[in-house]
A = this chain, B = another copy of it.
């Protein structure tokens, strides 16, 4: 590491040649794997370390017009990035698939208006060959940029209004919510409520639709507690609200496992036993599901597979291979544990 002040200019082949006392051509041969004498090679390798020379992969990539990198962008409030148990698993699933194809995944954080503009510039600036977007919204300015520059892209999520030809991989939120609510009803519950988060987004609204479809004529809109975020503390608040509205509540569908964990805490404080007095089901099958007492009955969300499939959609576009341009829905099995 050079001392402060000298690190602001990158070393060149010229610097290496000067430090090693050889010609630039000899340095190039070492860099490109050609023959040079062992003595010159040793001098050049020492000089490379000394001057801090960086082989210019970026320049070579300009020739091939490939960066061999794929962006990964999460267009959600940053609190979700810290809290959502799925996002990390989606990211690792995508990374494993890209890594197998020798692509570098670069994860770009969008945490402010300024980030949005800069990330858009980065995506359109030739730094990545493709991009995976985790979001259920299509109105983000970044999405418009993608459509303009025509960079191969895939969504994780299932936006209803996706009409720009960008493929997606997602789950059937409506069908999954309906299925687990029906299973909860089959345990004999009479008054079932829902803690619904993020209903301003498709994934959140779809889960309410599925809940309503399962209950049919028994659906009571007063037993849907809306909260902003899929998180433990909002689960607790939602549960308190449901208990106030209906003290005789005996079933709860929480829109995520974190919400369900918060609900369990409030039910315990209220002296209610789960699943004897109240049956609780969640959504995600995340780490939360096996941390609670009792463990959660829930919908398994295949987070790592969502990431892997999205990466595959981008790679297929890069290779010119056929891909499911209309989108892919992955199955979401029920995992039945002790909470209902």
B residues less than 8 Å from A100 (CB atoms) = 114
Question: Which of B4, B58, B59, B232 is within 8 Å of A320, CB to CB?
Answer: B4
B residues less than 8 Å from A49 (CB atoms) = 148
CB–CB B58/A149 < 8 A: no
CB–CB A111/B95 < 8 A: yes
Cβ-based interface call for A187 (8 A): no
How far is A233 from B88 in the complex, measured between Cα atoms in Å? 19
How far is A148 from B69 in the complex, measured between Cα atoms in Å? 23
- Copies in the assembly, this chain: 2
How far is A62 from B56 in the complex, measured between Cα atoms in Å? 9
CB–CB A82/B78 < 8 A: no
CB–CB A52/B150 < 8 A: yes
Residue-wise, chain A 34-74 has the 8 Å CB interface mask toward B (1 for contact) of 00000000000000110111111111011001010100000
> For chain A residues 277-293, which have a beta carbon within 8 Å of chain B?
287, 290-291, 293
Number of A residues near B (Cβ < 8 Å) is 85
B residues less than 8 Å from A57 (CB atoms) = 121-122, 124-127
Cβ-based interface call for A30 (8 A): no
Cβ-based interface call for A32 (8 A): no
Q: Which of A6, A147, A150, A287 is the most central at the interface, judged by chain B CB atoms within 10 Å of its CB? A: A150
Question: Which of B10, B91, B109 is within 8 Å of A109, CB to CB?
Answer: B91
B residues less than 8 Å from A290 (CB atoms) = 233
CB–CB A54/B104 < 8 A: no
> For chain A residues 97-113, which have a beta carbon within 8 Å of chain B?
99-100, 102, 104-109, 111-112
CB distance from A95 to the nearest CB of B (A): 5
Given the known A-B contacts A88-B82, A165-B1, are A149 and B52 also in contact in the complex, defined by CB atoms under 8 Å?
Answer: yes
Closest to A105 in B: B109
How far is A125 from B6 in the complex, measured between Cα atoms in Å? 19
CB distance from A313 to the nearest CB of B (A): 10
B residues less than 8 Å from A107 (CB atoms) = 106-109
> For chain A residues 148-179, which have a beta carbon within 8 Å of chain B?
148-153, 164-166
Complex interface: stretch among A132-140, A212-220, A321-329? A321-329
Given the known A-B contacts A99-B114, A105-B108, A106-B108, are A125 and B55 also in contact in the complex, defined by CB atoms under 8 Å?
Answer: yes
CB distance from A284 to the nearest CB of B (A): 13
Q: Which of A65, A81, A325 is the most central at the interface, judged by chain B CB atoms within 10 Å of its CB? A: A65
CB–CB A104/B118 < 8 A: yes
Closest to A109 in B: B95
Closest to A95 in B: B109
How far is A124 from B54 in the complex, measured between Cα atoms in Å? 6
What are 5 pairs between A and B in contact, CB < 8 Å? A4-B316, A8-B318, A10-B126, A105-B108, A106-B108
Nearest 4 A/B pairs, CB to CB: A52-B150, A57-B125, A107-B107, A58-B126
